[in-house]
Amino acid sequence: MSLRSAYPDVPRARELPRVVRLEGNLYAACFDLMKLLPARFIIDEAIREGRLEPGATIVESTSGTFGLGLAMVAALRGYPLVLVSDPVVDVGLRRRLEDLGATVEIVTEPAPVGGIQRARLDRLQQLRERLPRTFLPGQYDNPLNPTAYAAVAELLLECLGSVDYLVGSVGSGGSMCGTSSFLRVASAQLRVVGIDTHASVLFGLPDGPRLLRGLGNSLLPANLDHTAFDEIHWVGAAEAFTATRRLHRAHALYMGPTSGAAWMVARWVAAREPDANVVVLMPDEGHRYQSTVGDDQWLRARGALLPVLPSDPRDATSLADVNGGWERMAWHRRTLAEALRS
């Protein structure tokens, strides 16, 4: 039925993307804040099943948008929230989190073994022991993170009927593995193209410092199902940032750098497969990146503003061959172990 009614609350109103036809066979699913969807779903499911009791404290280790999603939902559902973060959490985000009532604990000292990530997890463990009742949403290993994306598959199937390609960046594995598993219930032909960045361990590269944030990871999340992917692209920071600016100019879509990277890859896929429906997931808006990706000087100082955006990726034949720029490799729905062996 076409009668529209009011949303019951802000997370429900903002958790789903708008599906926009960018050109011919290329559709974008544009989120305000994608992580709001799993945050809201995980908390509401836990309340429904009695795993999150009144008075319990929600604790999570995050310095990103999942924390913001949790803070919004925790504020509305009436739960205290403690987020364990490292010093790189940006000032604007931290203000928003604290405005919403969340406690942000900054861990400054790296652990002797395992660095700052380990120190954050240790602090989280301390909190869980100290507080009487805690609930850990656990975006990296809670299977309800990918499950939340059934709502995105529902929307895409209703809008498009079938999806031939799903393109998007990978961080926790939740959005890409979740959405694709539900799309495949109806679209068996679906091919999944994941986007990672160099010095991320997600698809078998060695860990290292990364300028491009919001995709990639230094740890391997349990929610990443490698066998969902047909093809992997590695996108460097300069390509992603430049693409983000071009996306704004080309479609008035003001999005974050993971969306820029995804758009660059999805355009290429859509041009190569003109008869296929291609959907690209765009995880967040550009406001947070105004003083970085949105600033030419910031970009130039890091050599991250390209005069020309590459039109094609370089084909990498093996993982050892992946070393910078924009590269692509057929993944063939292998496990990570299988990919590392070959």
Partner 1 sequence: MSSPSSQQQTLPNSQRHEGGKGTAIAHHGEVLQGVFETAHGTLLRAVVSLPYPRVRSCAAFWPSGGDLVEVQPSWKTKARAGCVAALEWFGEARGGLLVVDSDIPVERGLGSSTADVVSAIEAVAQSVKRAISPEDVARLAVRAERASDGIMFGDRAVLYANRSGAVLEDLGGPLPQLEVLGFDIGGDGVNTLAFEPARYLPWEVGAFRALRGLLRRAVALRSAPLLAQVATASARINQRHLPNAALTLVERSSQAVGALGYQVAHSGKVVGLLFDPADPHLDLRAAQARSQLSAAGVQTTWRFRTPQDGPQG
Residue choice 158, 206, 209, 337 for contact with partner 1 (CB under 8 A):
158
- Nearest approach in angstroms of CB 203 to partner 1 is 23
Q: Does 147 bind partner 1 (CB under 8 A)?
A: yes
Whole-number CA gyration radius for the chain: 20
Are 215 and 196 in contact by the 8 Å Cβ rule? The answer is yes
CA 15 to CA 136: how far, in whole Å? Answer: 20
Q: Does 141 bind partner 1 (CB under 8 A)?
A: no
Q: Does 183 bind partner 1 (CB under 8 A)?
A: yes
Q: Binders of partner 1: how many residues, by CB under 8 A? A: 27
Q: Does 29 bind partner 1 (CB under 8 A)?
A: no
List all residues 6 or more positions away from 25 whose beta carbon is below 8 Å from its beta carbon. 270, 273, 274, 275, 276, 277, 278
Q: Scanning residues 30 to 69, which ones bind partner 1 (CB under 8 A)?
A: 44-45, 48
Cβ-based nearer residue to partner 1, 44 or 285: 44
Q: Does 1 bind partner 1 (CB under 8 A)?
A: yes
Q: Does 2 bind partner 1 (CB under 8 A)?
A: yes
Q: Does 166 bind partner 1 (CB under 8 A)?
A: no
- Nearest approach in angstroms of CB 153 to partner 1 is 4
Are 149 and 175 in contact by the 8 Å Cβ rule? The answer is yes
CA 307 to CA 149: how far, in whole Å? Answer: 36
- Nearest approach in angstroms of CB 79 to partner 1 is 17
Q: Does 143 bind partner 1 (CB under 8 A)?
A: yes
- Nearest approach in angstroms of CB 98 to partner 1 is 28
Q: Does 301 bind partner 1 (CB under 8 A)?
A: no
Q: Does 185 bind partner 1 (CB under 8 A)?
A: yes
Q: Does 186 bind partner 1 (CB under 8 A)?
A: yes
Q: Does 176 bind partner 1 (CB under 8 A)?
A: no
Residue choice 19, 157, 319, 336 for contact with partner 1 (CB under 8 A):
157
Cβ-based nearer residue to partner 1, 178 or 221: 178
Q: Does 122 bind partner 1 (CB under 8 A)?
A: no
Q: Which residues bind partner 1 (CB under 8 A)?
A: 1-2, 5, 8, 44-45, 48, 143-144, 147, 149-151, 153-159, 161, 178, 181-183, 185-186
